[in-house]
Amino acid sequence: MGIGPSTKETTLHHFRDPLLDLVDKDEDIDLVGIMIVGTPQHNEEKYFVGKRAAAWLEAMRVDGAIISVDGWGNSHVDYANTIEEIGSRGIPVVGLSFVGKQGNFVVKNQYMDTIVDFNKSLQGIETEVVGENTPDYLDAKKALALLKLKMREV
Amino acid sequence: MKTDERILRRLVIKTYHIEDVVLGNRILISNRRLQISAGIFDKILTKFNHIQDIAIEIIPPKAHDRWTNSIMDIIPISTKVLGKLGEGITHTLTGVYVMMTGIDGAGNQVAEFGSSEGVLKEKLYLNRAGTPAEDDYIISLNLTLKEGQGTNRAAILEAHRACDLFVQEIRDKLKKVDARGYTEKHEFFDKIRMNRKRVAIVKQVAGQGAMYDNLILPQEPSGFAGGRSIIDLGNVPILLTPNEYRDGALRAMT
């Protein structure tokens, strides 16, 4: 499993990503960068890249991170692991993912308590309509608000 | 500039709005009109081994009651005019976007995990960040790969490269449009906001093979040439500055 048509973030999406726009404009936030991490095939590699991502964030001394994923199913193995690696280092982390009814997490951990579900279809499924289940400004707002709350608790 | 901010670099994105798109024998951008040409396809087809055919079509706004093959990507037409990705000046067209669709010689849709072929108006959700608005033109590039090549990574890369060569011809004209004739001008800064909460955005993207790949930092915004595949980079985390990312540093190949 991987990325279905409705959750697929097109090149145009990346060019005008609502998540970047919203976080970057927030005067209370010092946006340090966008980290791109891949979704490799084998579990050993999944854990390797997830741990490297978390090590980077720790070294960057971030106060918090928002992690977004544009696939589901098998990609959630990587996603859950990377969130755990980040969370277990004491870094507040909030997620964005398609969940709906079809995309329930195959694995979960204690750091996945703040995940914004950007499913937008009534049926909660991969509708195969390009663009339908992609994150918008409201999803980004929810994620940033949750992160601010989490960062306050630390 | 606020006293508690430190500016690192500046990016200016100028938009040029297009209200009409036509097919002609050469490329022209003038008076909000874009003329495109299919002339480059013959050259591409003789050189590219995995591609059987490329069909170009202009889809006007609201004319979406038509068949589409599975949508591989929606791509903005943007180009660097000054500086490298993430700084300097970028020109981009609004009102028109390129839609890449794919099928193979045997009629298999080019897709990995579900496909989006069907009636376009039922398969493309308009007005999202990653899709055209209802008043936008779509330049449809339908690629027919040779039979069985839809799951071959080399063929998918070739398809993106072919599409990029087509867009590059438009970019070369877009570089030379009147610098003062823009529709909108947006200024962005990579900056440090001192004593604010330090936050990183992490984007987990595909990185396993054909139709499950992403390209990082191409030469041109949202381009292909010069980019590095996340697979070839071993899927390890790569950092982009906010301005690099918003200047089209990530090309989706999913």
| Backbone Cα Rg of chain B | 19
What are the pLDDT digits (tens) for A21-71? Answer: 999 999 999 999 999 999 999 999 999 999 999 999 999 999 999 999 998
User: Is the pLDDT reported for residue A2 higher than 80?
Assistant: no
B216 interfacial to chain A (CB closer than 8 Å):
yes
Q: Quick one: pLDDT at residue A152?
A: 96
Q: Quick one: pLDDT at residue B3?
A: 67
Q: Quick one: pLDDT at residue B113?
A: 85
Cβ distance B124 to A128 less than 8 Å, yes or no, reads no
Provide, as residue numbers in chain A, all residues whose Cβ is less than 8 Å from the Cβ of B245: 14, 17, 20, 34
Mean pLDDT of B41-57: 95
Residue A153: pLDDT band by 50, 70, 90 thresholds? confident
Strand order in the sheet with B213-216: B228-229, B213-216, B250-253
Mean pLDDT taken over chain B: 96
A23 interfacial to chain B (CB closer than 8 Å):
yes
Q: How close A49 comes to chain B (CA, Å)?
A: 5
3-state secondary structure of A79: helix
Residue A114, token pair as written in the block: 């703040």
Distance CA(A45)–CA(A78), nearest Å, equals: 9
Other CB atoms within 10 A of residue B210 CB: 17
Residue A100, token pair as written in the block: 């709906």
Distance CA(A28)–CA(B102), nearest Å, equals: 44
CA angle B8–B13–B18, rounded 5-degree value: 175
B129 interfacial to chain A (CB closer than 8 Å):
yes
Provide, as residue numbers in chain B, all residues whose Cβ is less than 8 Å from the Cβ of A73: 113
What beta strand segments (E) does B130-245 contain?
Answer: 137-145, 184-193, 197-206, 213-216, 228-229, 238-240
CB B172 within 8 A of CB B81: no
Q: Least CA distance to A54: which residue of chain B? A: B237
Distance CA(A34)–CA(A24), nearest Å, equals: 11
Distance CA(B184)–CA(B14), nearest Å, equals: 6
**Interface A-B: count of C-beta contacts within 8 A:** 276
B114 interfacial to chain A (CB closer than 8 Å):
yes
Mean pLDDT taken over chain A: 96
CA angle B130–A46–B215, rounded 5-degree value: 35
Cβ distance A49 to B236 less than 8 Å, yes or no, reads yes
- Tell me which residue of A133, A129, A147, A81 sits closest to A103, measured CA to CA: A133
What are the pLDDT digits (tens) for B182-236? Answer: 999 999 999 999 999 999 999 999 999 988 999 999 999 999 999 999 999 999 9
% of chain A exceeding 90 in pLDDT: 92
Q: List B residues 3-62 in contact with A (Cβ-Cβ < 8 A).
A: none
Q: Quick one: pLDDT at residue B2?
A: 64
What are the pLDDT digits (tens) for B126-179? Answer: 999 999 999 999 999 999 999 999 999 999 999 999 999 999 999 999 999 999
Return the residue in B59, B201, B246 with the most chain A beta carbons within 10 A, the one to mutate for interface testing. B201
Q: Least CA distance to B5: which residue of chain A? A: A30
Distance CA(A132)–CA(B69), nearest Å, equals: 17
Mean pLDDT of B96-123: 96
10 Å CB burial of residue A74 (0-12, 13-18, 19+) is: middle
A60 interfacial to chain B (CB closer than 8 Å):
yes
User: Is the pLDDT reported for residue B1 higher than 70?
Assistant: no
Rounded to 10 degrees, the C-alpha dihedral A27/A29/A34/A38 comes to -140
Cβ distance B123 to A8 less than 8 Å, yes or no, reads no
Side chain identity at residue B173, one-letter code: K
| In chain B, where the domains are located | 5-253
Cβ distance A34 to B194 less than 8 Å, yes or no, reads no
What are the pLDDT digits (tens) for B113-123? Answer: 899 999 999 99
A12 interfacial to chain B (CB closer than 8 Å):
yes
Q: Quick one: pLDDT at residue B112?
A: 86
Q: How close A101 comes to chain B (CA, Å)?
A: 17
B236 interfacial to chain A (CB closer than 8 Å):
yes
Provide, as residue numbers in chain B, all residues whose Cβ is less than 8 Å from the Cβ of A128: 114-116, 123
Return the residue in A22, A34, A61, A137 with the most chain B beta carbons within 10 A, the one to mutate for interface testing. A34
Other CB atoms within 10 A of residue B124 CB: 24
- Tell me which residue of B158, B141, B143, B79 sits closest to B105, measured CA to CA: B143
Looking at per-residue confidence, does A3 or A90 come out higher? A90
